[in-house]
Amino acid sequence: MLPLAWKDDLTTFLPEEQVKIDGQTHPLGNGGHVTVYPQTEAEISAVLRYANSHGKKVCIVGGGTKRGFGGQMECADILLSLANYSGIVEHAAADMTVTVKSGTVFGQLQDYLAEYRQKVALDPAWPQYATIGGVIAANDSGPKRLGYGSARDSVIGLRTVYPDGTVIRSGGKVVKNVAGYDMNKLFIGAMGTLGVLSEITLKLRPLPKYESLVLLSFPSGNLEEVRSFAVQFLDSMMEPVCFELLSPSLSERLIGKRAYTLMIAFEDVESAVHYQEDYVQRLRPSHTTIRILPQEEAKSFWQTFYTIGPNGAAPHEPAGNEVEAAVKIGVVNLNVISIIRESELLEDCCHVHMEAHGALGHGLCQVYLKGSEESIITAIEQLRAAATSLGGYAIVKHLPFALRTRVNVWGEKPSYFFLLEGIKRKIDPKQTLNHQRFVGGI
Amino acid sequence: MRKTAIQTKDPHIQALARIVGGEKSILYKKEDLIAYDCDGFTVHRHLPKAVVFPKNTEEVAAIVKYCHDHDLPFLARGAGTGLSGGAIPLNGEVVISLTRMKRLLHVDLENRRAVVEPGFVNLKLTNSIADRGYYYAPDPSSQYCCTIGGNVAENAGGAHCLKYGVTTNHILGLEVVLPNGEIIEIGENGIPDPPGYDLLGLLTGSEGTLGIVTKITVRILKNPEAKQTVLAYFDRVEDASQAVSDIISAGMVPAALEMMDQTAIEGVEAAAFPVGHPKDIEALLLIEVDGISAGISEQINEILHICKKRNVREVKVAQSEEERARWWANRKTGFSAMGAISPDYLVQDGVIPRNKLPEVLKNIRAISKKYGLRIANIFHAGDGNLHPLVLFDARKPGETERALAAGSECLQVCAAVGGSITGEHGVGIEKKEEMRFIFSDEEIVAQTDIRDVFNPKNLLNAGKLFPTPGRCVEMKQVASSIK
């Protein structure tokens, strides 16, 4: 046991029951010798002020779903858990904005808003575990990003606790605002390396009056045909909120059909949704198969879909020495087809199980891998090579701690890395927060 | 090309002239510089040291490096349509005009993107791709002449950003010349979420204080299949406001939802594009719905129903594209139309939570009375972005100052109800002191800290965006006195 005499310092500003010694390390790392559970913003400030002035390193955790996402520290001094910092601060229903504490579970927020027929226009993975703070800090987005944008399009205001304990507000509570720098953008996707998100203000969207999901499978396996259909469809005036290609392996798991499958979702008034379904029917090649999931069936499909990747909060005990990984790849829109194809080829040559999907309307793909440690590392390298050869990037969103030391989670540093480093140095000069969690060891 | 000799002994002018290739690409004589002493914000004026017209990124980088190495202040300028003074050379800057970098470099319809140089005019992009059914969404009212580089600097909005978002939601990549002359590229190939802090988001709307954008990759959109436009006349402004709230809470996201009050209507009807609005109504709403044709009529019917429920005097749907275009021309020239009823006007740009509209309009009427100046209101009602236009006559002694004070007080009202001091025009010179209404000293330092990372010598567009230290106390007192 490490000498943790300083643990008693924490109880001078936190109640005893909000401070816990955690003796065990976590297979995904990003832990802390002491876990603290602040319940107020003032307590978050106090923890950071203490850590920053005593040279302690702090890891931040919400629901823990992204615990395997980046990070070179197995165990920091303090793990700051936001699990007990939750709840809605203000819901201005008529203005369609909500302010929420960062530890609020995403799914609970959506359930609450649904009573007002409103929603946060994000659909991240593991909504019943992930917190809104984690979703924003990691910039997680889901298949409906095509229709609704990502965190940067929904967040309108933040209260962020800086490493020295100062609370910095950015943005505001109005949906349009250009006063000063758009500081919100700095904290979205910063992986908690600049500050602890305390309160988040989001603009909301109305729940759609009707929705459906069209699943269009191409049993021929001919990707030229997929491409040609996609190009024609995207050149039409249809307005899908999701237009993603599933790899045959993922399609098999989700709908029992081993074929390239397009997931095309519509959300609008009912007549407009049916009109678009008909459009797909008319445009699709004759030998494709189509399934249309209306309303509740679509909703239930999505709930399953959001749980297809690894969940850092509930890692399965994998069989033998098998490990799980997730990779996010960004390429130019239609090059998604090449990435999905590549994942299928790599499955055979790397001896890993691989499932992939990617958005032909914006170019982001997710690849989920299962296999032995060595084969996973090889497969990640191959995927990255494929992405970079197309001018894109690959980042590793989930990997056990032991393997993260062997893989460059974020890929090569960008040419303007000195600016990222400069920003980190200004805000967190002592590298107190989520040290080494982000690009280039920031 | 024959080069005319530079008629000055100023070594800096000579050096800059050499970088841009001679006399034809630089202005330095006083009579030539006067046109560059202000932008769309005309209250402050200052002559630049010179205006240079680079043709490419390398020339921009060389100019910037020269200025950096010789401690010469500098700034970038597009079409000069900015309304908050962002392009005014307060410190006698070298103005880098990007109007000759105006090429459309690349269009990729399949992947929904286009690459433009910063001097490319906003509307020209839509015009270049319209034949294939595509468009560029951000549509500031000045879109026929403003540049996309300027739009990035100011994070420009427009009437249709209610549904489609402002400039920042449409920028995929930027090539930037940093204040030391170094060239960087962010968002290579326009691929979203490049690993690292979101510098695209930070640079967009930084009002030309962090770097000079020399190439922009933007997202382009497919035209909606159908659109319909509704014009509704209300006897009472409260009814119009309530109709706006009802439309939003009915779960609709119109493409645009605009309001004009009685004074604004008087102005647009006296100007170049009158459409015959009645003069005795308190407010009109211009509402546009777009999307899949099969769903439009349902939404229009609901809007008509809401308007009737809220005592509309008259409500009509545009019967032709020509009629729709006339309604929009009338609205989009709304600011300049004030010239028809007032020698001068000052535009403000506050944002408020939508449901605070009746309260805020009441307070603005009180401000108008207090200062003895008429204030017209043109309002992006759907997103709460209010444009009070303070009408005044600069020839009358003291009236300009009164107009500025009235404008500032309108922003106090917006800040006091939880809003912002600017929704799309930027802070610039005009509203830098008003930043105190919404940000603490620490929050302003947090922002200038970021500026220091990019612009440590503060030679690029200095004196903008952030308040002058020392005035904070009095501004805060003003702000708290109205809460």
How confident is the model over A215-236, as a mean pLDDT? 97
Is B5 among the domain residues? Answer: no
Looking at the structure, tell me whether residues B85 and B131 fall in a common domain.
no
Last residue of a domain, one of B192, B222, B252: B222
HSE (CB half, 13 Å, CA atoms) of B424?
28
How sure is the predictor about B473, in pLDDT bands with cuts at 50, 70 and 90?
A: very low
CA angle A195, A199, A205 (to 5 degrees): 125
- Give CA A135 to chain center in angstroms: 6
Is B3 among the domain residues? Answer: no
How confident is the model over B236-246, as a mean pLDDT? 93
Check which CATH number belongs to the domain holding B336 and give it: 3.30.70.2190
CB atoms A179 and B299 under 8 Å = no
Question: Quick one: tokens of B180?
Answer: 């030391």
CB atoms B422 and A330 under 8 Å = no
| Domains of chain A (ranges, CATH numbers) | 7-84+429-441 (3.30.43.10), 88-206 (3.30.465.10), 210-298 (3.30.70.2170), 322-398 (3.30.70.1130)
CB atoms A423 and B205 under 8 Å = no
Q: Give the amino acid at B284.
A: L
Partner B, chain A 334-353, Cβ-Cβ below 8 Å: 334
Helix axis angle for B357-371 and B237-249, nearest 10°, is: 150
Distances (CA, A) of B134 to A252, B221, B228: 36, 6, 18
Nearest neighbour of A174 by CB, restricted to B112, B292, B353: B353
Looking at the structure, tell me whether residues B303 and B396 fall in a common domain.
no
Rounded to the nearest 5°, which phi and psi values hold at B177?
A: -95, 115
Looking at the structure, tell me whether residues B361 and B319 fall in a common domain.
no
As for how many domains chain B has, the answer is 4
Closest listed residue to residue B422, CA positions, set B45, B85, B74: B85
* pLDDT tens digit sequence for A324-341: 999 999 999 999 999 999
Is B2 among the domain residues? Answer: no
The helix/strand count (H/E) of chain B reads as 17, 19
The Cα B85–Cα B77 span in angstroms is 11
Is the CB of B169 inside 8 Å of chain A's CB atoms?
A: yes
Check which CATH number belongs to the domain holding B153 and give it: 3.30.465.10
* pLDDT tens digit sequence for A46-81: 999 999 999 999 999 999 999 999 999 999 999 999
Residue B104, classed as helix, strand or coil, is strand
More confident site: B354 or A300: A300
Q: Show residues of chain A in contact with B106, CB under 8 Å.
A: none
Is B6 among the domain residues? Answer: no
More confident site: B3 or B7: B7
CB atoms B453 and A426 under 8 Å = yes
* pLDDT tens digit sequence for A243-277: 999 999 999 999 999 999 999 999 999 999 999 99
Instruction: List Cβ neighbours of A356 (8 Å cut-off, separation of 6 or more).
Output: A246, A247, A249, A250, A339, A340, A343, A344, A365, A366, A367, A368
* pLDDT tens digit sequence for B75-111: 999 999 999 999 999 999 999 999 999 999 999 999 9
Looking at the structure, tell me whether residues B242 and B363 fall in a common domain.
no
Looking at the structure, tell me whether residues B217 and B128 fall in a common domain.
yes
How confident is the model over B15-21, as a mean pLDDT? 97
Highest mean pLDDT pick, A234-238, B21-25, B356-360: A234-238
* pLDDT tens digit sequence for B181-230: 999 999 989 999 999 999 999 999 999 999 999 999 999 999 999 999 99
Is B433 among the domain residues? Answer: yes
- CB A219, CB A261: distance < 8 Å: no
Q: Show residues of chain B in contact with A117, CB under 8 Å.
A: 251
Q: Show residues of chain A in contact with B423, CB under 8 Å.
A: 174, 176-178
How confident is the model over A318-325, as a mean pLDDT? 82
Check which CATH number belongs to the domain holding B479 and give it: 3.30.70.2740
Q: Show residues of chain B in contact with A139, CB under 8 Å.
A: 193
CB atoms A363 and B191 under 8 Å = yes
Instruction: List Cβ neighbours of A386 (8 Å cut-off, separation of 6 or more).
Output: A338, A339, A342
Looking at the structure, tell me whether residues B45 and B25 fall in a common domain.
yes
The Cα B162–Cα B72 span in angstroms is 41
The Cα B239–Cα B411 span in angstroms is 24
CB atoms B248 and A238 under 8 Å = no
HSE (CB half, 13 Å, CA atoms) of B2?
1
- Name the residue range of residue B480's domain: 343-483
CA angle B173, B177, B178 (to 5 degrees): 110
Nearest neighbour of B291 by CB, restricted to A268, A362, A417: A268
Position B249 scores a pLDDT of 84
CB atoms A182 and B431 under 8 Å = no
On the question of pLDDT at B340 being above 60, the answer is: yes
- Could you identify the residue written with the tokens 């972005």? B385
Is the CB of B276 inside 8 Å of chain A's CB atoms?
A: no
**Contacts A–B by Cβ distance under 8 A:** 247
CB atoms B198 and A236 under 8 Å = no
Position B470 scores a pLDDT of 56
Last residue of a domain, one of B222, B249, B275: B222
Instruction: List Cβ neighbours of A49 (8 Å cut-off, separation of 6 or more).
Output: A164, A165
Is the CB of B154 inside 8 Å of chain A's CB atoms?
A: yes
- CB B104, CB A327: distance < 8 Å: no
Mutation test of the interface with chain A: which of B107, B241, B420, choosing the one with the most A Cβ atoms within 10 A?
Answer: B420
Residue A150, classed as helix, strand or coil, is coil
Q: What's chain B's Rg over C-alpha atoms?
A: 23
How sure is the predictor about A241, in pLDDT bands with cuts at 50, 70 and 90?
A: very high
- The Cα of B471 is separated from the nearest Cα of chain A by a number of Å equal to 17
Check which CATH number belongs to the domain holding B70 and give it: 3.30.43.10
Nearest neighbour of A333 by CB, restricted to B111, B157, B249: B111
* pLDDT tens digit sequence for A117-168: 999 999 999 999 999 999 999 999 999 999 999 999 999 999 999 999 999 9
Looking at the structure, tell me whether residues B73 and B112 fall in a common domain.
no
Is B44 among the domain residues? Answer: yes
Nearest neighbour of B169 by CB, restricted to A153, A333, A410: A153
On the question of pLDDT at A22 being above 80, the answer is: no
Q: What's chain A's Rg over C-alpha atoms?
A: 22
Is B164 among the domain residues? Answer: yes
Rounded to the nearest 5°, which phi and psi values hold at B203?
A: -70, -35
On the question of pLDDT at B465 being above 90, the answer is: yes
CB atoms < 10 A from the CB of A213, how many? 25
Q: Are strands B212-219 and B171-177 parallel, antiparallel or unpaired?
A: antiparallel
CB atoms B195 and A206 under 8 Å = no
Is B35 among the domain residues? Answer: yes
- The Cα of A263 is separated from the nearest Cα of chain B by a number of Å equal to 18
How confident is the model over A95-101, as a mean pLDDT? 96
Is the CB of A363 inside 8 Å of chain B's CB atoms?
A: yes
* pLDDT tens digit sequence for B107-124: 999 999 999 999 999 999
Handedness of CA B469, B82, A97, A138 (dihedral sign): negative
Last residue of a domain, one of B222, B248, B272: B222
The helix/strand count (H/E) of chain A reads as 15, 18
Residue A324, classed as helix, strand or coil, is strand
